[in-house]
Structure 1
Amino acid sequence: MNLTKYALVAMAAMFFSCKTEKTGVSNIKTERIAVDTSLTENTQIAKFIQPYKEHLNSTLDSTLAYNPTYLSKSDGDLNTAIGNLMADAVYVQANPVFKKQTGNDMDMVLLNHGGIRAEIPDGKVSARTAYQIMPFENEIVVAELTGTKMKEMLSYLEKAKSAHPVSQIKILADRDYKIISASIKGKEIQDDKNYFVATSDYLVNGGDNMEFFKNPVKLYSTGYKIRNAMIDYFTKVDTIQAKIDDRYIRN
């Protein structure tokens, strides 16, 4: 019997001698551990991460700009100083990125009032400030909308009666929030024209029931986080100049 035959005989013996055994989990043991003050710190781990923690805190708390006045999202009717700051920062920082990508300028910015998650106290403004205002990883995207879709957007704002942050658009409503006129960069919105509206990926996916963003002519990704745009904007300016203005008002 040659070597090949020996190998085949050995393999056959192994195959027929193996028994099929059923396996399964015989016991599962769980334990609920409360994350509270009863947990003690692991000093070895704490010592290891301390240099990284100090570096991170130093980076987050370094002063980028100065804010002379306390800013809150509850300080206005249809536009607020902090909302205007946020929308303007998105336009100033993201428009050059979008223009480089497409050759077009953004026409306007629309964000959501609920997306402003903190106030800005008077005093120093840091990267931590931006993280507090926008703790989410929302990206700036640009939706190309038809004039008809823009009218749907205005209808949404009428019903919302809220200070959703906008930039580069001027809206006038009556005392009952019915929109009387709306213009972008000084021109009335046209039904036969398309518009590039910068917003967040959360909103184009139906967040805050902004259904008018569904099925745009085209959707562009800038790869730019709203929070990062704010940090870059804070770095660019020395003193924040944010105020309530006439971009969206009732007469």
Structure 2
Amino acid sequence: MRLTHLIFLLYFFNLLGCKHPKLELTKIEGKQIQITDTLPVDSKIESYIKPYRDHIQKDLDSILAYSANTFSKSDGKLNTAIGNFMADAIYSEANPIFKKRTGKNIDMVLLNYGGIRSVLSKGNVTKRTAYQLMPFENSIVVVALKSNQVDRLVNYLIKKKRAHPISKLKLVINENDEIVEAKIKDKDIKSNKIYYVATNDYLYNGGDSMTFFKTNDSLYVLNYKIRNALIDNFRKVDTINPVIDDRFIQIK
């Protein structure tokens, strides 16, 4: 019995002796490692990814169309050739999808000036061109707007006086910024009518202060990226040669 007590006491004191001191974090140190071409290349990793890289590069550089000139978003004040091309391309590619799903047609397209991220250079047009023009993952949505919301949309364009890409909307203002003409598909904007406006998800969620999209009557998500629509359009048009036209002008 005494031996048992002795063993118990030895075990207890042994546990006390093994108690670890409490550790506290007092400092964290780190350094920035810049990723540059001076870093050594791992030959095994490089050989593994090379076939994939070559395939992607070949796909991006495949020629889809030809641009007759170099087009920039700074070429015009209220509408530009490149903006007109992009908005018209979105209408052309998205409307058949919307029509098939809903039985309705898109009435107009509105994109944003800031979403055009590159010039469209003269020469061969490739998939890479589409990624340069639209590097973001923005997708096409169609919003059902009441006529009073369309009025707010028109007033927004007049107030901003920026070449936001539009298609199927014609807007003429005078020197006092008053509306001379505002038509959708060559018809006057009617009250108590629903208009189906194609845009991107960024603008629908209030980007560029376009708050007129909410509250909308209905929202249709096409699951179709702006960039992919441009690529599909490139494949169809052969030669790209858009112009600055009269879809949004100011008369003096």
TM normalised by structure 2 equals: 0.87
Using the alignment, how far apart are the partners of 1:100 and 1:212 within structure 2? 27
Using the alignment, how far apart are the partners of 2:37 and 2:236 within structure 1? 42
CA shift at 1:37, angstroms? 4.1
CA shift at 1:29, angstroms? 5.1
Q: CA 1:25 to 1:56, structure 2 compared with 1: closer, same or farther past 3 Å?
A: farther
What is the correspondence of 1:232-251 to structure 2 with a 5 Å cutoff?
232-251=232-251
CA shift at 1:60, angstroms? 0.5
1:149 alignment partner in structure 2: 149
Mark the runs of 5 or more structure 1 residues left unpaired by the alignment: 1-16
Answer with 239-248 or 159-168: which moved more.
239-248
1:13 alignment partner in structure 2: none
Using the alignment, how far apart are the partners of 1:188 and 1:236 within structure 2? 31
- Tell me the amino acid that sits aligned with residue 114 of structure 1: G
1:115 alignment partner in structure 2: 115
2:197 alignment partner in structure 1: 197
RMSD over aligned Cα atoms: 1.9
1:64 alignment partner in structure 2: 64
1:89 alignment partner in structure 2: 89
2:219 alignment partner in structure 1: 219
Using the alignment, how far apart are the partners of 1:54 and 1:41 within structure 2? 17
Q: CA 1:199 to 1:30, structure 2 compared with 1: closer, same or farther past 3 Å?
A: same
Using the alignment, how far apart are the partners of 2:53 and 2:160 within structure 1? 42
Question: Percent identity at matched positions?
Answer: 50
CA shift at 1:32, angstroms? 2.2
Q: Which has the larger radius of gyration?
A: 2
1:87-115 residue CA offsets vs partner (Å, 9 max, x unmatched): 00000000000111111000000000000
1:213-238 residue CA offsets vs partner (Å, 9 max, x unmatched): 11111111011100000000000111
1:103 alignment partner in structure 2: 103
Using the alignment, how far apart are the partners of 2:24 and 2:242 within structure 1? 62
Q: CA 1:164 to 1:48, structure 2 compared with 1: closer, same or farther past 3 Å?
A: same
Mark the runs of 5 or more structure 2 residues left unpaired by the alignment: 1-14
1:8 alignment partner in structure 2: none
- Tell me the amino acid that sits aligned with residue 106 of structure 2: M
Using the alignment, how far apart are the partners of 1:217 and 1:189 within structure 2? 17
Q: CA 1:141 to 1:25, structure 2 compared with 1: closer, same or farther past 3 Å?
A: farther
Could you say what secondary structure the match of 1:109 adopts?
strand
2:12 alignment partner in structure 1: none
Answer with 45-54 or 207-216: which moved more.
45-54
TM normalised by structure 1 equals: 0.88
CA shift at 1:173, angstroms? 1.2
Q: Is the 8 A contact 2:69 2:241 kept in 1?
A: no
Using the alignment, how far apart are the partners of 1:107 and 1:174 within structure 2? 25
For these two proteins, the number of residue pairs brought into alignment is 233
CA shift at 1:250, angstroms? 1.1
1:10 alignment partner in structure 2: none
